[in-house]
Amino acid sequence: MSNNFLSSLNESQKDAAQHIDGSLLILAGAGSGKTKTITTRLAYLISIGIDPASILTLTFTNKAATEMRDRAYSLIDPSMLNTPPLLCTFHKFGLLLLKFYMKELNRNNNFIIIDTDDKKRILKSIDKELSLPLLASEISKYKNSILSPTEAKAAAQLKMYQQIADVYEKYENYLEKNNLVDFDDLLLLPYKILSKNKKLAEEISQKYQYIMVDEYQDTNELQYKLLRKLCCTHNNLCVVGDDDQSIYGWRGATIKNILNFTEHFDNTKVVKLQENYRSTNTILDHANQLIEHNRDRLGKTLVGTREKGNSIKVYESSDENEETRKIVEDIKSLIASGEKASNIAILFRVNALSRSLEEGFNKAGLAYRLVGGMKFYERAEIKDLIAYFRILTNNNDNFSLKRIINKPKRGIGKTTIEKLDAKSIELQKPIFQIIEEFEPEELAQVVGKKNSRTLKVFMASVMDLKDTLEESKMRFLDLFEDTFDYRSSYDNAPDGFDRQSNIDEFYGYIRDYFIQNPFLGLEDFLNEIALESENSEFTDEMVSMMSIHASKGLEYKHLFIIGLEEGFFPIIGDGSDIEEERRLGYVAITRAMDNLTMSFVHSRFYKGKRALLGKSRFLSESGLIKGSLTIEKNSMYKKGDLVKHKIFGMGRVQKAMKAGKDYKLTINFSGQRRDILSSFIEKI
């Protein structure tokens, strides 16, 4: 069979595609033809006579697997595909393995896979006090770090983590008893099987003689160890990825897998794909300047294949409203000149920044879509706050009351709400009026003594807030959060930072509204946002708005990146990793094809109040403005972080202090406290 399909590759791509035996790291820069290279390599292996059934290609998404399969098959003579190669996600491969070998764990293969909702229901049945998102996230983290309940208990030092470890143990017992597996088990259980049965691991390794992995920079510790088992009889592992685009540390991915690949697998061949086919040379030059400030990287420089292109524009605005006006005017001009709206996108690091954009677009009549996210006023935490404020303006609103009567949690469960609802229908009175008018003993007959007290306190709090609202709208806003503590209910949530940023944005927007409209009240504000949040008429031609995480893998002719201020991008503190923030900046810039605008403001709502902000260091680091260039330690640590030491094992950080280029950490290892520099430990 002819290998004419190789002629469309550049020299580096061709070098990678024709590599056969031995480990191979394809370091693929943004826009460098990564998918084309790996699919061509798959076609090449089959074209030279390698049995397709011996080739395993692993991806992260079904979409990526389907795209690769279609592209690879289009290059191959159909007669050579009597037995097609296995091309699927990590989790699909794990499922296939479990179907054949679950008996190795003394379990039947008629197991049932539970979804996220099932998992939360089970966890709630075990523990009704701890935050469900926190429980689900921590247990997932334990599993992907290959931590058993016993090991999780040993590493738990704070009371909350001891509780979580206990729930983890009960959760695992429940799954085994009912022969259930969750999403994380699709990787963990195959690893346990292959660890337990060396002979079986060798058989499977011999079956899949050629293994390829896409987006290797996004793998976690469990996926790496599973790959080691699959390669126990050979070294024919080809991985493709980009250390400069590793942006999922917050969900368990470890950049060390790709950084240390040549140490993990002997005699690795490294091929760098550095020719970029997407962006102008100007855009690439600034992306290269930015990412060079990172220490933990293998090192490569994107080389453009296109023209130099226009200069990157940097917008400086007084606040987010001026920022939005400038961007709206630019986009209106682009569309008026004949540009398609689908070729335009706006990126932000923090989802809360979409609010001012959405407002500006609605007023200008511009169609937009939020990619991979909800519109600001559709987000659960914002809908909760709106429901609270509706109750304050209309006590008769049963719908809103039922939404927030147990947010934050105050022990009012579904059954209690149903009883109140039934009583409301029976008496033809709003629930709030029943709570207000019934004597405590009478209310206790409906909902129980404890709930009766809770509801009376809740009702009194609402009435106090109504009185304060009539006296002072600003004092009301301060008292509202002090009373219900809604924002802090997300302190330990996995997505708490984003949700609290949205809450801060909402509080700040209300304050601004009252300052701008001193004679209008809370009801006027609610009516205005109800009009703002009405969906635009659907059209295929819409400007895309999205977080930088959601933009990975996408490209746009005209790109705007907003919110380039210290604290918003990069996010500082709260366990953030400055090098991962910088990689996010690199990903953002390299989404742009022709034109790029970077925007920062001097003032924005920050933690609920308008604050003066400094421009992002990324503007100077990328060479767009003058400023001091600093290189910082890549990892930040905070109390409660789960870490691992080669000798002492798993532990929890109790204290973190800066010590030169490192951090001095006080870590609890199963009851023993030790002071260790951060360079000697690994964050889980």
Tokens of 443: 């209310």
Q: Cα-flanking dihedrals φ and ψ of residue 448, to 5°?
A: 95, 155
Q: For this structure, is 214 an active site residue?
A: yes
Determine whether 672 is an active site residue: no
C-alpha–C-alpha distance, residues 225 and 146, integer Å: 10
Q: CA angle, corner 595, sides to 590 and 599, nearest 5?
A: 80
Q: What angle do CA 259, 349, 261 make, to 5 degrees?
A: 10
Angle between helices 380-393 and 522-532 in degrees, nearest 10:
140
Name every residue whose Cβ is closer than 8 Å to that of residue 592 and which is 6 or more positions away in sequence: 279, 283, 555, 556, 558, 559
Compute CA distances 458 → 123, 128, 448, 477, whole Å: 27, 20, 15, 17
Among the listed residues 138, 184, 185, 214, the single catalytic one is 214
Tell me if residue 92 falls in helix, strand or coil.
Answer: helix
Chain CA centroid to CA 418, Å: 35
| Selection from 104, 292, 319 nearest residue 197 by Cα | 104
Active-site hit among 138, 215, 384, 594: 215
Contacting residues for 434 by C-beta, under 8 A, at least 6 apart: 420, 423, 424, 427, 443, 446
Q: Which of 141, 499, 591, 633 is catalytic?
A: 591
The answer for residues whose C-beta is within 8 angstroms of residue 246's C-beta and 6 or more apart is 217, 218, 253, 255, 258, 580, 583
Burial of 351 (0-12, 13-18, 19+ CB in 10 A): buried
One-letter amino acid of 408:
P
Q: Per the residue annotation, which of 13, 39, 245, 324 is the catalytic one?
A: 245
* CA distance linking residue 254 with residue 220, whole number of Å: 5
421 belongs to the catalytic site: no
Residue 593 main-chain phi, psi, to 5 deg: -95, -55
Q: Tell me the C-alpha distance between 434 and 453, whole Å.
A: 14
119 catalytic, yes or no? Answer: no
Residue 4, classified by CB atoms within 10 Å of its CB into exposed (0-12), middle (13-18) or buried (19+), is exposed
Helices 221-230 & 132-144, crossing angle to 10 degrees?
A: 30
Catalytic residue among 15, 18, 35, 104: 35
Query: Cα separation of 364 and 520, whole Å?
Result: 24
Sign for the pseudo-dihedral over CA of 622, 623, 625, 630: positive
Tokens representing 93 are 């491969």
Question: Is 591 a residue of the active site?
Answer: yes
Could you tell me where the DSSP H helices lie in 517-640?
522-532, 548-551, 578-589, 617-621
Q: Which two tokens stand for residue 230?
A: 């699959």
CA distance linking residue 285 with residue 305, whole number of Å: 12
Place of tokens 């609920």: 608
- Is 639 part of the annotated catalytic residue set? no
Q: Which residues form the catalytic set?
A: 34-35, 214-215, 245, 591
